[in-house]
Amino acid sequence: MTHDLIAFVGGGQMAGSLLGGLLAAGHPASRLVVAEPDGARAEAVRREFKVEVRAGARDLPVADALVLAVKPQAMREAVAGLAPPFTTTVISIAAGIRIDSLRGWLGSSPAPVVRSMPNTPALLRSGVAGLYAPPGTPELSRRRAERILGAVGQTCWVDDEGLLDAVTALSGSGPAYFFLLAEALRDAGRELGLDAPTAKLLAERTLVGAGRMAESAGKDVAELRANVTSKGGTTEAAIGHLESQGFRALLLAALRAAANRARQLGDELAGNRQSTFDNRH
């Protein structure tokens, strides 16, 4: 079996999670190469994954897939001078940066470009990534992107590039909402008299267990919630208070703020202005 040669621009956490996932899935280290200019990080990647590491993107060989794994603000400089051939699939995992911008920075390369928004649970092979490919993208490029991102979790496709801002708001930023909820539950438990270790354990394990139930129970989360909300009981009292305080509207506003920021980031990096995220998506 022939494995794609996959090159990474950037050797940070998300690139590391993808490297680890690919290696665990049987992709040979000899078919992975990373461009990382930071000496300490380059050595860490080389030591942990046993892959070839080069100093810059322009030192990379022509690869079947080129994964752009640098921060959005650093992307333009990182890919300067690159012009991947049509046979290379370019995959960006940076928030906000649109395909038109990437094409411009890549010297109008004819290479197919796929955008993806993974999230940090990819570090534990439990991530989820939204992907978008423009119309006309070769099926091979779609499969390559799906295989690479699928090495660290699940994938789903959206049919409008603008919807990646919603993906960013929901799942890209979502782990932070989970951690905030765990933090708030822990602190509330302490306010109710629990000691710190007990409150921490109860908050974290409750959320982890509930997440596993949501994934494996085969029921909609609304049904799972109803099943533990007995009429006149303690859970109903808590849920009723949350709903009366506009919990859903607050969460929607929070995600809209995140989506707006993703869109604004794309505008800033593209050098133009567009409207904020609204009800059209």
Provide the domain limits for residue 117. Answer: 6-164
Q: Is residue 264 part of a domain?
A: no
Same domain, 101 and 213: no
Euclidean distance between CA atoms 43 and 97, whole angstroms: 28
Same domain, 106 and 151: yes
Same domain, 47 and 160: yes
| Cβ contact 146:156 at 8 Å | no
pLDDT (0 to 100) of residue 138: 96
pLDDT string in tens for the chain (281-residue length): 579 999 999 999 999 999 999 999 999 999 999 999 999 999 999 999 999 999 999 999 999 999 999 999 999 999 988 889 999 999 999 988 999 999 989 987 889 999 999 999 998 999 999 999 999 999 999 999 999 999 999 999 999 999 999 999 999 999 999 999 999 999 999 999 999 999 999 999 999 999 999 999 999 999 999 999 999 999 999 999 999 999 999 999 999 999 999 999 999 988 744 444 444 44
The pTM score is 0.89
> What is the distance in angstroms between the CA of the first residue and the CA of the last residue of the chain?
42
pLDDT (0 to 100) of residue 280: 40
pLDDT (0 to 100) of residue 148: 96
Q: Is 142 exposed, middle or buried (0-12, 13-18, 19+ CB in 10 A)?
A: middle
CA-to-CA separations, 150 to 27, 137, 267, in angstroms, rounded: 13, 19, 29
Same domain, 108 and 202: no
Which CATH number do you get for residue 130?
Answer: 3.40.50.720
Number of compact structural domains in the chain:
2
pLDDT (0 to 100) of residue 212: 95
Same domain, 145 and 216: no
Q: Is residue 169 part of a domain?
A: no
- CA count, 13 A, side-chain hemisphere, 163: 12
Which CATH number do you get for residue 221?
Answer: 1.10.3730.10
Q: Is residue 271 part of a domain?
A: no
| Cβ contact 150:91 at 8 Å | no
Same domain, 198 and 77: no
Euclidean distance between CA atoms 19 and 3, whole angstroms: 14
